[in-house]
Amino acid sequence: MRGVFLDRDGVINDDVDLLHKAEQLRLLPGVARAIRRLNQRGLPVVIATNQSVIARGMITPSKLASIHRHLRWLLALRGARIDAIFYCPFHEDADVAFYRQASADRKPRPGMLKKAARLLSLDLPRCFVVGDRTTDIEAGRRAGCTTILVRTGCAGLDARFAVKPDGICNDLPEAVQWILRRIA
């Protein structure tokens, strides 16, 4: 089965430095409609996001769950649905000792994508990854997905990896158009 993986910050919502409160969530223009279009086509929509705010001790996993409930609520108000959210709380330089480790889930590693694929019966080579950072694109490439870099958020300027996405779009609505043209 096909699916669409989305990074969160900079793709769905404004890229706020270390988002740690639900009040900081601001959907980017056209995002809810774009996700709704994927929902209408029967494509599972999965968020895969690194969350170093937990490793830094700024929030707990339960607080992150509250933020994600708020995000889902904001989208639901506009008729859009996220099917699953995967996050990685680990970071090699974490302030909280428990989270100080390398993780197969932390992008650019593809662990979250592979885990989601197993749990949701997704066929990774038929899936799409939409991100605003080269770490997103590298994770998608390592998982064998089609990758799309959007020019919102970081817009690939992190330049951590010399990766070439399969597509470059201005924002998520344009990326969804790009995806839907290819699966028509």
Residue 137 has a pLDDT of 98
Tokens of 170: 């201005």
Cα–Cα distance, 156 to 15 (Å, whole number): 13
Top-confidence residue, 17 or 117: 117
Check pLDDT > 90 for residue 24.
yes
Check pLDDT > 90 for residue 147.
yes
Check pLDDT > 90 for residue 35.
yes
The predicted model scores a pTM of 0.97
The one-character DSSP state at 9 is B
Check pLDDT > 90 for residue 114.
yes
Residue 170 makes CB contacts below 8 A (sequence gap 6+) with: 150, 151, 152
Which one of the listed residues 9, 132, 136, 171 is annotated catalytic? 9
Check pLDDT > 90 for residue 159.
no
Which one of the listed residues 7, 15, 132, 136 is annotated catalytic? 7
Q: Examine the residue annotation and report whether 9 is marked as an active-site residue of this protein.
A: yes
Domain ranges of the chain: 4-183
* CATH classification for the domain delimited by 4-183, as one of 3.30.950.10, 3.30.70.100, 3.40.50.1000, 2.60.40.10: 3.40.50.1000
Q: Examine the residue annotation and report whether 105 is marked as an active-site residue of this protein.
A: no
Percent of the chain with pLDDT over 70: 100
Mean pLDDT of the 56-83 span:
98
Mean pLDDT of the 6-33 span:
96
Check pLDDT > 90 for residue 33.
yes
Q: Render 53-75 in DSSP notation, one character per residue.
A: HHHTTSS-HHHHHHHHHHHHHHH
